[in-house]
Amino acid sequence: MLPISATFCRVTLVTSMMLLSACQQKPMVHVFANELTAVQQQALYQQLTEHDIDYELSDAAIPERYEGARLNKFPPQADEKLFNQLREVVAALGYSQLYISDFNQENHTYSEHHYGLYLRGSVRETPLPEQLFALNCAQNERKLNLNHNGSWQLENTKQYGYWRFTRPFLTLSAGTGEYLEEQSYQWHDGEVVTFFGKKPAVTLVALGHRKKMNDALNCDWQVILVD
């Protein structure tokens, strides 16, 4: 048996079952990302580091039936903080959802405080919508149009500005010189309840304060995706 250090864990394959021994209280995420491009892998490692998530890379193949982004966990564990952090990580890479699973039939079984993150390649990113609808705003009926030339216009008003997008962050700016204002938003994939049941949605949540002179910058923005 391989020795286990007090500061790190090793992955050992025994009779086709992945056995991972718990050696520390802080969660350890074992990452399976061989199918991602070098650029995607670099973005993944940066996201994990920014979220202060301890991780270890694995060269093992991803089970064939796994799709998208999947997290395997020890059954009793429900670390919602880690789950939410990992949802943000995979969303930044363009995955629409993180599937969380307990023991499974592919012999990838984890002990306490250990998780397996599996990222299938060929991510299909949801493009930035051209029209967004106001949310958590004084006037939720507002619509924001994102034009191809990099400008934005609040529909039926004279409010306009410029936008730039580097997944998962959208930045809207308005005004010039000393009156220039900006608001940054973070992309969140999720579901909303509609008259037709639950539907997938993209929500852009404001990260800055909500006391801008241009009140369009004080709203969140959302779009419900058509199936």
- For the ranges 10-19, 29-38, 85-94, 217-226, which has the lowest average pLDDT? 10-19
Contact of 24 with 60, CB cutoff 8 Å: no
126-146 pLDDT, tens digit each: 788 899 999 998 888 899 999
Three-state secondary-structure class, residue 177? helix
- For the ranges 46-55, 96-105, 152-161, 175-184, which has the lowest average pLDDT? 96-105
Task: Give me the pLDDT at residue 8, please.
Answer: 40
| Band of residue 122 on the pLDDT scale cut at 50, 70, 90 | low
pTM listed for this prediction: 0.49
The DSSP bridge pattern shows strands 28-32 and 54-57 to be parallel
69-78 pLDDT, tens digit each: 999 888 777 7
Q: Is pLDDT at 10 greater than 80 in this prediction?
A: no
Q: Is pLDDT at 189 greater than 60 in this prediction?
A: yes
CATH, domain 12-119, list 3.40.1710, 3.30.70, 1.25.40, 2.40.160: 3.30.70
Distances 48 to 57, 86, 122, 172, 191 between C-alpha atoms, Å: 12, 8, 20, 26, 24
Cis-peptide, bond into residue 63, ω within 30° of zero: no
Domain ranges in the chain are 12-119, 131-224
Task: Give me the pLDDT at residue 172, please.
Answer: 95
Region of 122 please: left (phi>0), alpha (psi -120 to 50) or beta: left
Pick from 8, 3, 50: nearest CA to 28? 8
The Cα–Cα gap between 116 and 30 comes to: 5
The highest-confidence range among 23-27, 63-67, 90-94, 158-162, by mean pLDDT, is: 158-162
Q: Which residues are CB-neighbours of 150 under 8 A, at least 6 positions away?
A: 162, 163, 164
- What six digits make up the tokens of 48? 């994990």
